Every structure is written in structure tokens, then in C-alpha cells.
Structure 1
């Protein structure tokens, strides 16, 4: 008799802080798009599964900065306005396409789609964190935390700010989910072990391992990319499509089908399963590139709706054919069956303590890959009550099969080249100079918050600016050239605001402008103050 192994689908939901920081093409609409395309459709799907007697058992990490924005009154109001605007635009297309019936049918499809999203948002009382909490409380899903603003932890200058980022993340999680998180998604799967460290600007010092700080804060597990465990035995393809460099530190240390304790600690680590990840991530063989799926990059120049399908990766945008939702759903069924069989085949010859942990950015599903949420639903339905596969959250798997063996992990990430190149390169050195300067100055504020209570508001706001400055998104957007000007504007703004607040504290001066306090409102004052006093 075959004993079933474990499949854990892990989604990581994150958006940088965009409140009142631009609207389109860069800014708040990034958040509104993924709320409409990913988060609400995912909640609808998970609840439908539960109503049908199918417990999804997915694990989802929601970054603390995203949680705060989803709960923000201003963001909620503006999101409703965004949905109403989309409905109006789609209704305008219904009239505009009177003589183009294929397009008119799609326009009505979008009217119905955005109307349903608005109705769902209101059904959840406009409280998306609360909707995820309900699913966790009933045992349908597990929610993990992350670093407060998704900082790239291995490259932060001081361990105190690594602790600070994770501490704020843990306490923000407790605020929304009324429990402590068991696991964490370390941003970009970026890990650094204990030992000698050399930073982007030539700094050298002895550093704590990331797992030591996780242990201090009561966390139990995290994830790394496959090469950190399996070394060069596999051809690793990253989200950007690049293979790992020939690094002698990447020797085979274990298997991604097992969990391990990080050497010298109680922290559990599990590696990304690449065979399953490639089926979704790969630009060459991944499902989202199917000719029948909706084309993300081509939009209508009047309404901004997507009316075309991939057609072929070799065809330029002007040659794309009209999207057909019915045919796309047929391909979803085929791909869900293919993926489910892949999971079965991979686990068929493994023992019952084996796990396939398949992690993805949540926004890939529904937003980038429009049909992806439906694919998740069908995969879960096919693997529910399977005789070879057991669906489990990551904590359920660790509880069932606690790791025995230890592993000595190398420095790694899931970025370009497998290390830090995406965030540490010639284009990002100015960012790190300013971030490091802010880190050094911020350490002074520990003394001032104890003895200059009249400036507590300024101190807390300065730390809020530091947190936003530390977001890994700015370096990523610069390196990938997706929005370099916006990223540079953002990190310079938050660095400047930090300096203004810092000097006001040091020199005991007042700040005349209130913009900094009204625009950057993420995280509770008490959470920030408590985290500062604990480092």
C-alpha cells in the first residue's frame, strides 16, 4: 500500500507601500489591480471550496505592509472607486463595440467580472485580512508572516534592523490574526548564515544567522530556494529565468523532499521544489504561456481592458488574437490535470514523510496569469482525498513529521544568480549608501525615545520612514528596469523624510509640513516603539 506524501501549495502575497504615492502607471493602482485580480478571487475560491466540503490547506504569507494597506480606510474607499471606474469603462466598451461582437461579449464579461468583485468586497465587509483570518481559524488555510516591509534581510547593515523588521512583522501579524505566526516567508527567500559578512559598500563584520533572529522571536520555519539544499545537482531556473552560477558553496546538502533543522537551532527549513515550480514560473514551458490564455501585456488603449490572448510568444502584440474565455478554461482543466499527475508521480516512490513544497508569488495567479486562480481551485479539487497525495499546510506537515536531520545552509536567494545580485549591483549602490546611513543614524534614536518623550512622534515616524526605505522592491525595480525612476523617487523621498525627522529630534526642532505624517501611516505607533526598545 502506498502511503501518501504531502503537497503544500505556498503563496506569498506582497505589495510595497503605495498609499498616496502616485496612482498610475506606478503607485496605488498596483495594489488595486491585485486586490481585484488576485486577493478577492482567491478568497472567493477558497470559500467556495470550503462550502463544497474541500479544505484547501494552502499556506499563504501576507506581508505586514500589505496587511496594513488592505485594512486602511483610505485604500478601501479608493479601491471601491477603482472598481466602479472599471465597471464604467467596461460598460463604455459594450457600447463602443456594437459592431464587434467578439469584443462586445468580452466587454460584458468584464462588466460582470468587476461587478462580482465589488459584491465580494462588500460581502467581506471590505475587510480582506479578516476574511483570511476566518479561513485560518476554521483550519482551511495557514497564514504566515514576513518582514515588515519586505526588507532584503541579508544586506541590511546591522542585525538590530533585521530583528526590528521581523519584530514589527510578527506583532503586526498578531494584530490581525490574534495569534502568533508559526512560520515566516523571508523576503526573496534571501538567507545569510552566521559568520563573516561583507556588504555592498565594503563593510565587513561578524553577523548572526537569520535563523538565530527567527528563533529569538518565536518563529518555527522558513523556506529557501532549491539550490541552497540540493546544490548543483539540479539545473535551477529562477523566477527571472536564469540558471545558478558555478558557486563552490552550492554542494548537495540534502533533498527538497525533506525538511531539516538549521544547524545549531530549532528552526525548520524546507526547500522549493523546482519540478513543480517550473511548470508555472518558466517563461519557456510554464502554463501561463499557453496560446489560449489571456495576454497580460496588451491592453485596450481606450479602456485598459485585456481583449487578447497569448496566441504565440513569437508574435508581437499587434498580432495577438481575440481572447476566448471558454477555450482558456478548457486549457485550465488540462493544465490542472497535468500538474496533479506530476505531483502524484513525484510522490509515488517517496515515503510518507516526503513533501513537495511549491511556492509562488500570489500575484502571479489572477493578475499576471488571469486563469491562475481557477487552476488553483482545480488542482486542489483533484488532489483532495487522493490516495498518493495529502494536502497539508506547512505547519501540519512539520507537526506530522518533525525533522530529524540538521542542515548547514549557504548564503542564497531566489533572485538572479541565486544570491544577492538582483538587489546588490552597480545600479543599486546609491540606494544602499542612503539606507546604511539611515540605519546608522536610527540607532541613536533608541536613547532619545527614552529621554525625549516630547519628540516621540518624530522618532516613531522616522522609524516608519526607515521601514519603508528598507523595502526590497526599490532595488528590484531598479535592477529589472521595471520602474527605475519611480523606485529612485521613492527611496530618496523616504530617506529625505527620515533625515528631516532625525535632525528634528537631534536638534530639538519642529517640522512645519504635515505631509510626512498624513501620507506614511503604516504600522501602529506602539508596535514601532516597542520594536525599537527591544533591539
Structure 2
């Protein structure tokens, strides 16, 4: 549960969640509102904006092909990003309007464009397709399972065709195409998924994350980004000043980041608010998002949806799975999943029925649109016909990877909204509105974690990490100031140190320490990057560094090829 400030609980609309989202509705409670006017209640401009956080920590192990962590990247390509591109292409081909905002993390972009990982992904697809033949033989006596095996094989073959023949391994290029044609808005974000509030007192660290992220953005995308995605939507006062200084027009916060702003915005979470320095901020509608992602009652838990946890990769013996992967390297998803979340009369899970699942998805999309329409109608009426929108932000991997039908649900949203006149989809930049009489705000500390703040990022499992990474950050700033004009081997070494420090700041290593199945890997990756940084730092003191070690490390962590260690220097 989010722990809200006690002062907020004295607000007259605290116990009325529906009205809580609209600061204007204070007058409704006190009885000073205008009488209902049917003309003013008619919606003048109402929309939904969906933002996907496409993030993944940098995972690349040239000497360890087939590791579990690498397979998660392949899963995201197979079940999220390639299906999403197919949906976008189908909508564009049929002339159906759609609007979607995505924040691609630079680490994910670098993985998507890495030749080694591209080759391994194709090999992964080939193994999966070939394994499907043996799986058909194993399930030869069960026609229903055979149909599901064929379905998965068809999807993998389609993925291979799209990835190799249509996109030429460059799926970011297709996302960029949709962005340049006005369908998608791509937000910038930090170089690695850094929890910025933890470094807010070290402005050089925040600057380095933003500048390196921008450099990577310009490598992969055409447009100049207007919006900035804060990793985990983590905000602390002062971040808005930094973002505005880099020319960004807006960012997105969790619900309470705007509701408990000082002063609270009149439009609540139904429009962009403006910080005192002019940066616009949207607030995610947490209730709308939980309707989709709640682990107990969310759409993915519907009875006819595919149970994505029941995968043969976790159920069959090691000998049977050997052609697909070595169980000793860790069990993982394979895509061969046969069971729905619906229990039959005997209490056992029923076989997945794609047709019924997609009927349910269409119904869920309709339900979602109807509820948002109802909310927007009320907001528009209370705000006297002002343009209103609802912001929904999700992890991109939830769609397709965690919720198998998720991409189909998104497509169904756009298709159904296209034939309605009462609701539409929009991009965030189109909803940035500066109102002359609007009061400027100071947003409240917030993040999209369950606690609402930072308990998942700083706790007893990971608090030992921060003294090390903060000390390394201060040392990196010192190095950048001491060696501003160096070239050659020393410059290569300093760039390596900067690169490894950015990797050590990756949020996933800290949150991974709280999950037993990930803690060992997270600890190893954090220590590996800190050790590499320390090697460079100490070598500059002794004036010697092993070129063999430097070259090997550069090849292993080959992201941010245009890294410039000077981004860590004090700004003059």
C-alpha cells in the first residue's frame, strides 16, 4: 500500500476515490458547484493515452550462450515486440487510427541492434521450431494439444520471417517508421534504468544518465524526443529542473505524485499539470492500470486466458528438453504452453482455447473503453468541458510475454475505439497544454512501485550496494574533471569506467536482490561492473592498464559505443 501524507487524509474528497482524481471536485463536496448543465457535460475532447515502458537490463554473455537471462530477451522479442509490430502494421494497412507512446530504454535498444544477439535469436527461433516437431510426436494422441503446438510453431515461423526478411533484424527501424508517421511517440529515458532519486544529490550522475541516453536515442531514432520517461516513474523534487534544461516538454508521474502536489492541480490527473519551471507532467491513472495488471483480478487472470506460467520448460524432464536447452543452465519459458486459467469440472486446468480467449479479450477491451468513457464524461462535466485525458502506463513486457493475449487486447482497443465517437486515443505531446491562468505546482515524491516510493529499491537486501556505487560515482566525477582532454588508451579506459558505472547504476540489480531467483545474478552483475570500474580507477593511479583486459571488457559490454566519459564532469 502507498503511504500517503497524513495531511492528505483530511481532504474532503479523501474517502471518495472516484472524485479524488479531480481537484475541481472539492466544490462538489462542499456544495458550491454549478448546477448540472447538459450542454457542458457533453464531452468536447476526451482521450486515452497509453505509454509502454520498453525496458530490459543489458544482458550479453558472449562466452555463455543459452543463459536464462538471455532467453528472457528473446521471449520479449517473440511475444511482445514482433507481435506488437504486426498489430501496428495491420492497423495501418486497414486505415484504423492508433496512437501509442513507448519509452525504449537505451540498454534494450543496444541489445536489439547487437549482431551477436541477433544471430542467437535466429538460432533460438530455429531450435524452437524444430523442437515443435518432436513435441507434436510426443503429443500425438492429443489433438487439442497438437493444435496448440502448431499455433506456437506458426507464431515462431512468422517471427522468423518478419525478423529476417521484413525487418532485416532491425525492428527499431519499424518502430521509428511508425513514429515518423505520427502513430507512435517515442520517449527518451536514462542510459540505464537508474532510480534517479537515489542520485539527486549528485547532479553529475543524473546528467550523465540523461546525456548518454539521449545520445543512444539519436543513434536509433529520427525524431527529437519531447517527453522523458523516468525509470519506475521515480520522482523527487528538482528532477523537473534538470529535464527542462535538456529541452524536454513533459514527463509522467504516478497518481499520488500529482494528487499531492503543492498546490494540487485543478484538473487532477485528467490533464497535464505544469511545474513552476514550465515542465508539463501527466499522472498515471493507477486504478485504470490495475484493472489490467492486478495480479489477482487483472485481465490476464480471466479464466480463458493462457496460463503463461505452465510451460513445458518447467514441467518436462531434462532429457526431453535437451534439444531445446540445457536444464543445468536454468529452466525457462519455451512458448509451449497448453493450459488456460479455467479449471474444468474435475478441478484440473482446461486446455487453452484460443478462439474463446480472443472473444474474452474483445469483451475486456470493450469493458475497458466503456469504463474510461464513463470516467472521462464525469471529469469533463466537472471541469466544465475542458479537454480531458486518462494516462495509462504499463511495462511493455506485460503485453504478450506475461499476458499472452495482451497485444491482441491493445489491437482490439484501437479497433473498437475507431468506430466510436465518444472516446479516442492520443499521444502525450498533443495533450500538453499550457493554460495562462493555471497555477504552477511542485509534484510530490513518488514512484510506480507498490509502496509508492522507494521501499523496493532500498531495503535490507540491497542497502549494502549504495555506498559502493555512490563512491564510484564520486570517483568518476573526479576522473572526468582531472582528465578533461585525454586521448588514446587513457580515453578508452575512462570511457570504459563510465560505461561500467552506468551499468552498476541499473535499477534491476537492486530490485533483483529482493527476489531469490534473481539475486545471485543481480549481485554478480553489480559486482562485475564495479570491479571493472575499480580496475580502471586504480590503473590511472599506477599509470598502467592491461590492453588485453580492456579490449576483452569492451567487447563483452559493447553498448554505448560513442560513450564520452566527460558527461560526468562538473558543468561550468
Report if TM-score (shorter chain) is over 0.5.
yes
Shift of 1:405: 3.4
Runs of at least 4 residues off by over 3 Å: 21-26, 249-254, 399-405, 532-535
Q: Which moved more, 1:18-27 or 1:96-105?
A: 18-27
- Structure 1 residues 352 and 118, CA gap change in structure 2 (3 angstroms): farther
Shift of 1:352: 4.4
- Structure 1 residues 482 and 353, CA gap change in structure 2 (3 angstroms): farther
Shift of 1:515: 2.7
Aligned length: 498
Shift of 1:312: 5.7
Distance, in Å, in 2 between the alignment partners of 1:532 and 1:53 is 47
- Structure 1 residues 299 and 400, CA gap change in structure 2 (3 angstroms): same
- Structure 1 residues 401 and 84, CA gap change in structure 2 (3 angstroms): farther
Match of 1:236 in 2: none
Shift of 1:492: 0.6
Q: Is residue 159 from structure 1 mapped to residue 203 from structure 2 by the alignment?
A: yes
Q: Is residue 499 from structure 1 mapped to residue 512 from structure 2 by the alignment?
A: no
Greater Rg, structure 1 or structure 2?
2
Q: Is residue 310 from structure 1 mapped to residue 341 from structure 2 by the alignment?
A: yes
Find 2:397's aligned residue among 358, 363, 373. 363
Match of 1:471 in 2: 506
Q: Is residue 180 from structure 1 mapped to residue 214 from structure 2 by the alignment?
A: no
Shift of 1:285: 2.1
Distance, in Å, in 1 between the alignment partners of 2:246 and 2:86 is 33
Distance, in Å, in 1 between the alignment partners of 2:343 and 2:264 is 38
CA contact (8 A) 2:262 2:443 kept: no
Per the alignment, in what secondary structure is the counterpart of residue 564 of structure 2?
Answer: helix
Shift of 1:410: 1.6
Find 2:413's aligned residue among 379, 396, 407. 379
Shift of 1:403: 9.2
- Please, what TM-score do these two structures have when normalized by structure 2? 0.83
Deviations 1:245-283 (A, max 9, x none): xxxx99965511121111x21111010112311211212
Find 1:16's aligned residue among 54, 57, 61. 57
Distance, in Å, in 1 between the alignment partners of 2:75 and 2:356 is 24
Shift of 1:487: 0.5
Match of 2:19 in 1: none
Distance, in Å, in 1 between the alignment partners of 2:81 and 2:413 is 18
- Structure 1 residues 354 and 120, CA gap change in structure 2 (3 angstroms): same
The unaligned stretches of length 5 or more in structure 1 are 194-208, 232-248
CA contact (8 A) 1:228 1:250 kept: no
Deviations 1:104-140 (A, max 9, x none): 1111111101001111112111101111100001111
Q: Which moved more, 1:440-449 or 1:66-75?
A: 440-449
Per the alignment, in what secondary structure is the counterpart of residue 345 of structure 1?
Answer: helix
Per the alignment, in what secondary structure is the counterpart of residue 428 of structure 1?
Answer: coil
Find 2:77's aligned residue among 35, 45, 63. 35
Shift of 1:356: 0.4
Distance, in Å, in 2 between the alignment partners of 1:369 and 1:449 is 49
Shift of 1:441: 1.1
- Structure 1 residues 126 and 267, CA gap change in structure 2 (3 angstroms): same
Match of 1:438 in 2: 472
Shift of 1:60: 0.8
Q: Is residue 118 from structure 1 mapped to residue 149 from structure 2 by the alignment?
A: no
Per the alignment, in what secondary structure is the counterpart of residue 107 of structure 1?
Answer: helix
Deviations 1:15-68 (A, max 9, x none): 100011755564211111101110111011111111111221111111111111
Find 1:294's aligned residue among 301, 306, 309. 306
- Structure 1 residues 91 and 393, CA gap change in structure 2 (3 angstroms): same
Match of 1:415 in 2: 449
Q: Is residue 531 from structure 1 mapped to residue 562 from structure 2 by the alignment?
A: no
CA contact (8 A) 1:11 1:359 kept: yes
Q: Is residue 258 from structure 1 mapped to residue 271 from structure 2 by the alignment?
A: yes
Q: Is residue 68 from structure 1 mapped to residue 106 from structure 2 by the alignment?
A: no
Q: How does 1:309-328 map onto structure 2 within 5 Å?
A: 309-311=340-342, 319-328=348-357
- Structure 1 residues 115 and 166, CA gap change in structure 2 (3 angstroms): same
- Please, what TM-score do these two structures have when normalized by structure 1? 0.88
Shift of 1:448: 4.4
Distance, in Å, in 2 between the alignment partners of 1:307 and 1:109 is 10
Q: Which moved more, 1:172-181 or 1:27-36?
A: 172-181
Distance, in Å, in 2 between the alignment partners of 1:250 and 1:337 is 36
Shift of 1:347: 1.3
Distance, in Å, in 1 between the alignment partners of 2:529 and 2:355 is 46
Distance, in Å, in 1 between the alignment partners of 2:118 and 2:539 is 33
RMSD, aligned α-carbons: 2.2
CA contact (8 A) 1:94 1:104 kept: yes
Per the alignment, in what secondary structure is the counterpart of residue 443 of structure 1?
Answer: helix
CA contact (8 A) 2:204 2:570 kept: no
Find 2:427's aligned residue among 393, 398, 420. 393
Match of 1:242 in 2: none
- Structure 1 residues 488 and 402, CA gap change in structure 2 (3 angstroms): farther
Distance, in Å, in 1 between the alignment partners of 2:343 and 2:423 is 34
Q: Is residue 226 from structure 1 mapped to residue 261 from structure 2 by the alignment?
A: no
Match of 1:404 in 2: 438
CA contact (8 A) 2:272 2:433 kept: no
